[in-house]
Amino acid sequence: MGAGTGRGVMFSGVMATAWVTATLVAVVAGVVGFHVVVRGATFAAHAVPMSAFAGAAGAAVLGVSAIAGLGVVSPLAALGVAWLGRRRRTDVASALVIVVMLGLGALFLSWTAEYSSQVYALLFGELLGVSTQELAATAGLAVLAVAAAAVLHRPLLLTAVLPDVADGRGVSVLAADLWFLLLVAVVTTMAVPVVGTLLMFSLMVGPPAAARAVARSPRATIAASVAIALVTVWSAIALSYVTDWPVGFFVGILGAAWYLAGRAAAALAARRRPGARRQPAALAA
Amino acid sequence: MSTVLSVEGVDVWLGGRHVLDEVGFEIAPGELTGLIGSNGAGKTTLFRVILGLLPAARGHVEVVGRPAGRPARAQVGYVPQKVALDPDVPLRVRDLVSLGLDGNRYGFRRRSRQRDEAVDAMLSAVGATRLADARVGTLSGGELQRVLIAHALVAQPPLLLLDEPLANLDLANGQEVVTLLAKLTKEQGVAVLLSAHDMNPLLPVMDRIVYVAEGRVASGTPAEVVRGEVLSGLYGHPVSVLELGGRVVVVAGDTGPTDLVTR
Ligand SMILES: Nc1ncnc2c1ncn2[C@@H]1O[C@H](COP(=O)(O)OP(=O)(O)OP(=O)(O)O)[C@@H](O)[C@H]1O
Ligand SMILES: [Mg+2]
């Protein structure tokens, strides 16, 4: 795709599919990313897509579609992280899962003919290679993910903010963690073929982290997070079209930029608040 | 007298230690009860048993006539001992209080005027109306304690458990929270059980006391319980109750009969 070949091409054919797909991925990443950030689960949310790498690589070896491989391995990775991290050590569990699955993925890919192009596609996605069939699957998973996020919303919030109270009220923190990871697995399955494991992660963390600096309530934060994610992918596609650089590069850069902008805004807000505390508000006897 | 909470012959062993030994007491509506005991006495453990999170080896707990655990959960408001909030968490005070109404429910939620009114009323009852739109991560310790109380009470449970709510507060803020709890106890007719390692801030408002030591409890009015001979029986060695500069202190050793005179 040459630089600046005109509007007609930028919004039609393969490009039209790319726009729609990217929009779906951004909405879902913005919604689910809210819970990633509120739970402080960025590492766990990294482990699932990274493991999915192995699933997609395995699918390549078997000659089945990447979505099928992702659909099987992502939930398994989610269960693995939840089970290994059931005593609230999800960081160690996540690290373990990432290392093992990355190794497996590399092994699987070495068995396929087109090693390097496959690796590249899984890490950074192939937005411009999305077929109509894949678009339908992506749309279905997007609806599922957003509906699940809505259904799980309140228990996910309660268990993230007041875990001891949640347990007392019969909302198991463990169950909520598991639901959350399965939700991440759904997002992974839909997003990895499109934006890749690395960029899906940056899309799921950058926008919501920036959003919570500008919005107050959960509702407003989710809305802002979706909006920022949309701006990110749209600009990334447009920039990629103009420069001929990979979409993934721009998604990554913009994700990081949003994150830093969010941190800066939060720091400024804190400085403006007289007597604001830098430490978490903690009550411990 | 109707009973909101009844604890009967509860035994708990943790890590080979007999943490609770035949613990029994009752709590009635509209009463504020202090669960008093030093660090490691078993206060949090007892709360976990009442919430049904920790099974007792023996004994029985009933909340409004239902056994502890799943059926009783909706009947208990709970403010835990440790709450650590991320300063950046995108949650306003009113959102946190609203989670007290239905944070445990899966499913879609419709916006409702009723819910907003319940939240506003609760915030006003704990004197936190002006904090309604503040981020929860920015609250001071005393403010957060009020908000957690509102969160625990907004669903109007008949029983409120507070684990060391005064632990991190200075004298003035502690006093305010105590006054607030006494007010809520009477106004809302809720039964309040709150733990503390120091009974002094609670003496002016406490209807009853459950004193924990050596895994055993003594309960009754402060005048009945805070006596040398009662507490000596509990500790299994002689202790004395002294009044020093307006404060009641329990010390080891026999210094003669000095019983608490309640004000
Ligand atoms: N899971 C556990 N395994 C072994 N021992 C435990 C466990 N939980 C608590 N204990 C022990 O039980 C005793 C009572 O603990 P608990 O937390 O109930 O005390 P507490 O009265 O709440 O103390 P504090 O005032 O410090 O909060 C302590 O000696 C503690 O070490
Ligand atoms: Mg305790």
Sequence-distant (6+) residues with CB within 8 A of A238 are A10
φ and ψ at residue B27, rounded to 5 degrees: -135, 135
| Any domain includes A285 | no
For atom 30 of ligand 1, the residue with the nearest CA is: B40
Torsion angle of the four alpha carbons A133, A137, A140, A141, in this order, in degrees rounded to the nearest 10: -160
Give residue A3's pLDDT band: very low, low, confident or very high (50, 70, 90). Answer: very low
What pTM was computed for the model? 0.87
Q: Is the CB of A276 under 6 A from ligand 1?
A: no
| Helix H or strand E encompassing B241 | strand B239-244
Q: Is residue A284 part of a domain?
A: no
Confidence of residue A89 (pLDDT cuts 50, 70, 90): low
C-alpha to C-alpha distance for B85 and A252, rounded to whole angstroms: 29
Task: Provide, as residue numbers in chain B, all residues whose Cβ is less than 8 Å from the Cβ of A153.
Answer: 109
Residue A140, in any domain of the structure: yes
Which H helix or E strand runs over B98?
helix B93-102
Task: Determine whether the shortest distance from the Cβ of B18 to ligand 1 is under 6 A.
Answer: no
Q: What does the alpha-carbon distance between residue B104 and residue A189 come to, in Å, rounded to a whole number?
A: 28
Subunit contact A216:B84, Cβ cutoff 8 A: no
CA distance B125 to chain A (A): 21
Q: What is the DSSP letter of A90?
A: H
Cross-chain CB nearest to A152 (options B106, B144, B197)? B106
Alpha carbon of B231 to ligand 1 centroid (Å): 21
Q: Token pair of A97, please?
A: 């899962």
- Give percent of chain A above pLDDT 90: 26
| Residue B154 Rama label (left phi>0; alpha psi -120 to 50; beta) | alpha
Pocket perturbation via mutation, ligand 1, pick of B44, B50, B81, B211 by most ligand atoms within 8 A of CB = B44
CA A143 to chain centre: 15
For residue B145, the distance in angstroms to the closest alpha carbon of chain A comes to: 8
Q: Cβ of A278 and B152 within 8 Å?
A: no
pLDDT classification of B211: cutoffs 50, 70, 90: very high
- How far is it, in rounded angstroms, from Cα A23 to Cα A5? 22
**Joined tokens for residue B105:** 């429910």
Ligand 1 pocket, residue B215 CB under 6 Å: no
Higher-confidence position of B108 and B142: B142
In a domain, A282, yes or no: no
Judge whether A39 and A165 are in contact, CB under 8 Å. Answer: no
Comparing A202-216, B32-46, B146-160, the range with the smallest average pLDDT is A202-216
Task: Please give the structure tokens belonging to residue A222.
Answer: 């989710």
Q: Quick check: CB of B151 below 6 Å from ligand 1?
A: no
pLDDT on residue A170: 86
pLDDT single digits (tens) A18-38:
889 999 999 999 999 999 999
Average pLDDT over residues B120-137: 94
Average pLDDT over residues B191-208: 94
Chain A nearest CA to B257, separation (Å)? 33
Distance CA B75, CA A203 (A): 42
Mention every residue, 6+ apart, whose C-beta is less than 8 A from residue B233.
B218
Asked if the structure places residue A26 within a domain, the reply is yes
Q: Is the per-residue pLDDT at B245 higher than 90? A: no
CA of B215 to the centre of ligand 2 (A): 13
Which string of DSSP letters, residue by residue, matches B205-239? T-SEEEEEETTEEEEE-HHHHSSHHHHHHHHTS-E
Residue A213 domain flag: yes
The predicted model gives B237-242 an average pLDDT of 87
Residue A4 predicted with pLDDT over 70: no
Q: According to the model, what pLDDT value does residue A283 have?
A: 45
Q: How many domains does chain A have?
A: 1
Q: Closest approach of chain A CAs to the CA of B112, in angstroms? A: 15
Has residue A279 got a pLDDT over 80? no
Return the H-helix or E-strand segment holding A60: helix A42-62
Is A283 within the bounds of a domain?
no
CATH number of the domain at A168, please: 1.10.3470.10
Position with higher pLDDT, A14 vs B151: B151
- A114-122: which pairs have CB atoms within 8 A and are 24 or more residues apart? A118/A57, A118/A60, A121/A193, A121/A196, A122/A53, A122/A56, A122/A57, A122/A66, A122/A192, A122/A196, A122/A197
| A275 pLDDT higher than 80 | no
Residue B255: per-residue pLDDT:
66
Mean pLDDT over all residues of chain B? Answer: 90
**3-state SS assignment for residue B55:** coil
Cβ distance of B70 and A218 shorter than 8 Å:
no
B246 near B204, Cβ under 8 Å? no
B62, β-bridge pairs = B6, B67
Query: Is B36 a pocket residue for ligand 1 (Cβ < 6 Å)?
Result: no
Six-digit token pair at A219? 């509702």
Query: Is residue A277's pLDDT more than 50?
Result: no
The answer for residues whose C-beta is within 8 angstroms of residue B41's C-beta and 6 or more apart is: B197, B212, B213, B215
Judged by DSSP in three states, B252 sits in: strand
Q: Is the pLDDT of residue B28 over 80?
A: yes
Contact B258, B228 (CB under 8 A): yes
Three-state DSSP class for residue B244: strand
What is the percent of chain B with per-residue pLDDT over 70, rounded to a whole number?
Answer: 96
Which range scores top for mean pLDDT: A46-50, A66-70, B186-190? B186-190
Residues in A closer than 8 angstroms to B95, CB to CB, are 157, 217-218
Compare CB distances from B90 to A38, A165, A285 and report the shortest one's residue.
A38
Dmax over CA atoms of chain B, in Å, equals: 64
Q: Is residue A211 part of a domain?
A: yes
More confident residue, A260 or B146: B146
* ipTM score of complex: 0.89
* CB of B37 sitting under 6 A from ligand 1: yes
8 Å CB contact of B89 and A38 = yes
Per-residue model confidence as pLDDT tens digits over A164-190: 999 888 898 889 989 998 999 999 888
> How far is ligand 2, taken at its centre, from the CA of residue B124, in Å?
29
Domains of chain B: 1-75+157-222 (3.40.50.300), 89-153 (no CATH)
Check CB contact under 8 Å for A216 and B140: no
3-state percent helix, strand, coil for chain B, nearest multiple of 5? 35, 30, 35
State the pLDDT at residue A285: 37
Closest residue (by CA) to atom 2 of ligand 1?
B14
Domain enclosing residue A265, as ranges? 3-272
